[in-house]
Amino acid sequence: MCALTWVEGLSHQEVADRLGVSVGAVEKQLARGRYHLREKISQSA
């Protein structure tokens, strides 16, 4: 999902349509991805 939005530039709705999930599910997964990325970055700093 992250690659579809951040790299491919798709909207949350477009990602949801492609994957057959709700927009809420896409937003939740993106939030989790940002959280984990932030954690990894802060651990290596």
- Kindly report the three-state secondary structure assignment for every residue of the chain: CHHHHHHCCCCHHHHHHHHCCCHHHHHHHHHHHHHHHHHHHHHHC
Domains in the chain: boundaries: 2-44
The mean predicted confidence, pLDDT, of the chain is 93
Q: Name the percent of the chain lying above pLDDT 90.
A: 80
Judged against a pLDDT cut of 90, whether residue 1 lies above it is answered with no
Judged against a pLDDT cut of 90, whether residue 18 lies above it is answered with yes
Q: Is 21 exposed, middle or buried (0-12, 13-18, 19+ CB in 10 A)?
A: middle
* pTM exceeds 0.85, yes or no: no
Q: What is the pLDDT of residues 23-38, one digit of tens each?
A: 999 999 999 999 999 9
